[in-house]
Amino acid sequence: MTGIPEAFETLLKESVGAGCAQTVLQALDAPASVSIRLNPAKLRSCPFPGATPIPWSPYGFLLQDRPVFTLDPLFHAGCYYVQDSSAMAVGHIARQFMNAPHMAVLDLCAAPGGKTTDLAASLRERWGDRFSLLANEVMRSRYAILRSNVQTWADNRVGTLHLDPSAFGSAPVFDLIVADVPCSGEGMFRKDAQAVAEWSPETVAFCAARSKRILADIWPALKCGGVLVYSTCTFNHFENDDTVEWAARELGAQVVTPEMPEPALRTRCGWLMLPGLVPGEGQYVAALRKDGPPDSQLAANLFRLFGAQVSEDSQVPGGRGSSRSIGPLFSDGRSTSAGDPASINVDRATALRYLHGDAIVLPEGTPLGPLTICYEGHALGPAKNLGKRCNNLYPKSKRIRMDIP
């Protein structure tokens, strides 16, 4: 890869060793991999042939090539999330601390929502409705993306909000906090040329200082005995191990060493996913346990406490994580139940026209009034059948903007 700063290469060798550094530099010239993570409430098998499981995610799959996800209705239905395989390591570490029902969990720097949906799937599978997850993003523009992705995932135990870390206050209410902090982005060099252009030693120092401020601000909100999973998508020791050691020393924490399968690289305090050793991009993960006797007290309603937005069943077609089959389907794919909108399955071409915001034609005999448009049994969104025509009510902000073949 051209344009790599010499100072970056020097710091990379200092942080991971000369041999691993050379592996990373060579990998930066290779194509990036493509991976997805299933929504287990909707899909149990990968819809793409030839995909291989990712060892550190029960829902993750590495794809042979990159499909046009925009033209897959299952993507719009929230059946899977497109996420780098290395980023799934954060979920793997967090799952090792989901050890009790009624957990209060915070994804602090959550946009665009990959780690939030991974946490939600894991908590849902393990504890059913007995958890609360807040997904927070301080930047309003990025919050809109987070909110949209959480709505598509459709779990009513996940709330979204945009607060500065300091706004969570000093009351210890969270059992688990995931802080995937803003960083210098070294691990994204292969995918993001802008990250290369903006890198400098000064940026690294700024990001390390900001990470310490974020940790200091959110630390009081973690219960004693609770765990904070700290992660970055960068390689250098200043933002990674040095920051974790600072937190352990200054905040009153114990560095814990959760399990991570090979070929992740063990560091002083955590784990590094290095391109060339793993198929994905760069990711660092560590875990800190807050000193003090464990606090098992259940928190108040987190959504009300912090004013989070929650996707209620009535707001999300299909409700909690799945497109409910509302009664037995008719032969043409319709289903009905008293008090619920009818849902109707459509073919792929009709689904894509619907997602594009176009007018669609439904089969004769389709119930009049509010409908949920479904594809392969998974809810896409609302419509209103007027008989001779059907009002497409798919949100304009979510519509496909590319031409539909």
Catalytic residues, by residue number, are: 233
Cβ-Cβ contacts under 8 Å for 206 (sequence gap 6 or more): none
| DSSP characters over 336-373 | EETTEEEEEE--HHHHHHHHHT----PPTTPPSEEEEE
| Beta partners for residue 35, in sequence order | 62
Strands 270-273 and 283-290 come out as antiparallel
| DSSP characters over 203-235 | HHHHHHHHHHHHHHHHGGGEEEEEEEEEEES--
Phi, psi of 225 (to 5 degrees): 85, -10
Question: Encoding tokens for residue 59?
Answer: 């829902």
Question: What's the distance, Cα to Cα, between the start and end of the chain in Å?
Answer: 35
Secondary structure (3-state) at 141: helix
Q: What is the Cα–Cα distance from 275 to 191, expressed in whole angstroms? A: 12
Whose structure tokens read 């993960």?
Answer: 285
